[in-house]
């Protein structure tokens, strides 16, 4: 049964033991004694940032990574004491939050260095940051070609400490390795140049899930894992190499709230996009695109009921979805439907849904909306 007696029967199950096991599996893959940042941005990719971070902290996770300062503050307010790295840096007005919550930001803009230095000076504190170098992603970071000039200018800020160097890969999950290897070479050159300028960065971090998997020479002494830690693999890790044994952390479930037999020729749902070709048993599930069960799955996706696949028929609507259960023997009102996860011998993973609608598994799990309650299965 759903653990939410007052809630409609649609919920996500989050396996904290799978999460912790995945973290440990990934950490074991690291070369040397590299540490691992558990990336819990975007509400831990939809899995629940506070609950996931608490379980990971309990299991000894080294660092946490978030995109936004807001997300870091949420972790601190929930009692997370481990280092928190802000992958996307910070917004101008957030310097005081960096100080107040002892966060470690990525830094790549001179005006923000100046701002953070001013706040640190006022507080009489030294703030550690990791310099983000753009070695080929082209999104955030000091362009590799400007690095020396930028680093020299940083010397004027005596309340900032360049305690790490980071970069981010554009294509570590690809088939070809050349582009990533060129990013790794630029990253290594960056570290050398910074040391020659007198900086002594403690941390060198480059690898995301895909880099961690396919480029052991990119591990530095700190790697960052998001997707793989949540058990996403097929569209995350390079197909060149076999994936380590990682387990999906999220399952999505619902129950049949309407069950009926309709004659052949019955139209189902908005736009009359599906008409039954035979007498059919049609089940309605209280889940729709407002829950993150994507409308583009209309007439395409499937769910598992009583250990059998049941295809989605008609349009997925905001709150409701219909499935054809004609071939599911013994189907009853109230039966559980697995939209994501395992049931008996069948499973549907986020990568399957993503493939059906032309996106990646990241977008599937981060898209499961706030109105779907998360049920945490303890570690």
Ligand X SMILES: *Cc1c(COP(=O)(O)O)cnc(C)c1O
- Which residues are at the interface with ligand X (CB under 6 A)? 39, 41, 87, 168, 208-210, 224-228, 236
In the complex, the smallest distance separating the C-beta of residue 210 from ligand X, rounded to whole angstroms, is 6
For tokens 């899995």, the residue is: 47
Cα 135 from Cα 141, distance rounded (Å): 8
In the complex, the smallest distance separating the C-beta of residue 3 from ligand X, rounded to whole angstroms, is 28
Q: Which is nearer to ligand X, 172 or 268 (CB)?
A: 172
> Is 45 one of the annotated active-site residues of the chain?
no
CB atoms within 10 A of CB 60: 11
What's the gap between Cα 350 and its chain centre? 12
Q: Which is nearer to ligand X, 225 or 313 (CB)?
A: 225
In the complex, the smallest distance separating the C-beta of residue 329 from ligand X, rounded to whole angstroms, is 41
In the complex, the smallest distance separating the C-beta of residue 180 from ligand X, rounded to whole angstroms, is 13
Contact predicate 14/377, CB 8 Å: yes
Mark 317-328 as b/e (b = at least 16 C-beta within 10 Å).
Answer: bebbbbbbbbeb
In the complex, the smallest distance separating the C-beta of residue 88 from ligand X, rounded to whole angstroms, is 7
Q: Which is nearer to ligand X, 50 or 68 (CB)?
A: 68
Catalytic residue among 41, 230, 289, 376: 41
Q: Which residues contact 164 (CB under 8 A, 6 or more apart)?
A: 104, 128, 129, 130, 131, 201, 202, 203, 204, 205, 222
Q: Which is nearer to ligand X, 88 or 288 (CB)?
A: 88
Q: Which is nearer to ligand X, 276 or 366 (CB)?
A: 366
Compute CA distances 153 → 115, 149, 157, 191, whole Å: 14, 6, 8, 16
Pick the closest to residue 250 from 12, 45, 11, 51 (CA basis).
Answer: 12
Tokens of 214: 């396919």
CB atoms within 10 A of CB 171: 17
In the complex, the smallest distance separating the C-beta of residue 209 from ligand X, rounded to whole angstroms, is 3
Half-sphere exposure of 351 (CA within 13 A, CB side): 14
In the complex, the smallest distance separating the C-beta of residue 271 from ligand X, rounded to whole angstroms, is 36
Cα 272 from Cα 289, distance rounded (Å): 18
Range list of H helices, the chain: 16-29, 41-45, 49-58, 69-77, 95-100, 110-123, 147-154, 178-196, 209-214, 350-357, 361-367
Q: Which is nearer to ligand X, 40 or 310 (CB)?
A: 40
Compute CA distances 155 → 9, 46, 129, 237, whole Å: 58, 40, 13, 39
Q: Which is nearer to ligand X, 225 or 328 (CB)?
A: 225
Catalytic residue among 155, 260, 270, 300: 270
Closest residue (Cβ) to ligand X?
226
> Is 376 one of the annotated active-site residues of the chain?
no
Q: Which is nearer to ligand X, 39 or 53 (CB)?
A: 39
SS3 74: helix
What residues are labeled active site? 41, 270
């Amino acid at each position: 049964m759903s653990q939410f007696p007052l809630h409609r029967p649609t919920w996500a199950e989050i396996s904290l033991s799978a999460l912790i096991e995945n973290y440990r599996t990934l950490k074991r893959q690291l070369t040397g004694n590299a540490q691992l940042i558990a990336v819990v941005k975007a509400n831990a990719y939809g899995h629940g940032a506070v609950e996931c971070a608490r379980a990971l902290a309990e299991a000894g996770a080294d660092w946490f990574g978030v995109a936004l300062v807001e997300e870091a503050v949420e972790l601190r307010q929930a009692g997370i004491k481990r280092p928190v790295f802000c992958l996307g840096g910070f917004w101008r007005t957030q310097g005081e939050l960096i100080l107040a919550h002892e966060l470690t930001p990525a830094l790549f803009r001179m005006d923000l260095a100046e701002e953070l230095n001013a706040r640190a000076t006022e507080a009489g504190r030294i703030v550690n940051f990791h310099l983000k170098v753009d070695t080929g992603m082209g999104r955030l970071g000091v362009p590799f070609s400007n690095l020396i000039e930028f680093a020299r200018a940083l010397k004027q800020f005596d309340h900032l400490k360049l305690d790490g160097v980071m970069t981010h890969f554009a294509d570590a999950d690809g088939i070809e390795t050349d582009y990533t290897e060129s990013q790794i070479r630029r990253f290594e050159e960056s570290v050398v140049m910074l040391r020659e300028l007198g900086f002594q960065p403690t941390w060198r971090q480059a690898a995301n899930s895909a880099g961690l998997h396919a480029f052991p020479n990119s591990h530095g002494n700190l790697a960052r894992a998001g997707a793989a830690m949540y058990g996403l693999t097929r569209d995350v890790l390079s197909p060149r190499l076999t994936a380590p044994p990682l387990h999906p952390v999220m399952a999505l479930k619902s129950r049949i709230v309407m069950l009926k037999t309709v004659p052949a020729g019955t139209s189902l749902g908005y736009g009359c996009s599906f008409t039954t070709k035979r007498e059919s048993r049609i089940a309605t599930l209280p889940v729709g695109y407002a829950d993150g069960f994507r409308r583009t799955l209309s007439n395409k996706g499937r769910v598992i009921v009583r250990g059998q696949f049941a295809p989605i028929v008609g349009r997925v609507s905001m709150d409701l979805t219909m499935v054809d259960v004609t071939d599911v023997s013994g189907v009853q009102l109230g039966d559980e439907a697995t939209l994501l996860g395992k049931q008996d011998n069948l499973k549907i993973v986020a990568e399957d849904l993503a493939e059906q609608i032309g996106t990646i598994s990241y977008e599937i799990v981060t898209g499961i909306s706030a109105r779907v309650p998360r049920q945490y299965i303890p570690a």
